[in-house]
Amino acid sequence: MIEIKKILFPVDFTASSKKVLPYVKYMADKLGARIHVLHVVLGPEEFTGFEMGAAWFSSIEGELLKGAEKAMARFLKEDMAGMDVDSSVLIGEPVDAIVDSIDKFGVDMIIIGTHGRKGLEKIMFGSVAEGVVKRATVPVLTVNPFKTKS
């Protein structure tokens, strides 16, 4: 028997995340599942090819984490008000962090938007959703936030 008791919802705090949210809420409600909201701050490995390199990252890591935690608190307060959810902010490569979270948080399903970054950022960093779909060991529901009816 298939049981979906925990849904992982990776967010980047863009309008895309807000457009995917109704699908996350709907699925959690219908399945009786708990939601775990996750944000991943790019880690130092993401900057190794740039002129500044990863060395400078340690000097700003605390500020990046603090900013991400504030953004998470705002997202939960404004967009998930009244909901009892779990949340985490991690540092690392987004696909790795999301896939690693499956076992770390006991996730049974992932719901992720297909669009967040655009243009040059997408070319440089690739598609997180695509990487998650290829590597996840649980079902992944992808939602194109620009094709939703909301």
Q: Which residue has the higher pLDDT, 146 or 38?
A: 38
Q: Give the domain extent around 137.
A: 6-143
10-35: per-residue pLDDT in tens? Answer: 999 888 899 999 999 999 999 999 99
Please say whether the beta carbons of 29 and 59 come within 8 A. Answer: no
Q: Is 25 contained in some domain?
A: yes
Q: If you average pLDDT over residues 60-86, what whole number do you get?
A: 90
Give start and end residues of each alpha helix (H) in the chain. Answer: 15-31, 57-79, 94-105, 119-125, 128-135
**Structural domain total, the chain:** 1
> Average pLDDT, whole number, for the chain?
84
Identify whether 149 is part of a domain.
no
CATH code where residue 42 lies: 3.40.50.620
Backbone dihedral angles phi then psi of residue 89, each to the nearest 5 degrees: -125, 120
Helix axes 15-31, 57-79, angle to 10 degrees: 60
pLDDT of residue 107: 97
Distance CA(109)–CA(9), nearest Å, equals 9
Mean pLDDT score, 142-149: 79
Domain annotation covers residue 1: no
In a domain, 150, yes or no: no
Q: What is the pTM of this model?
A: 0.85
pLDDT range class, residue 74, cuts 50, 70, 90: very high
d(CA 81, CA 63): 26
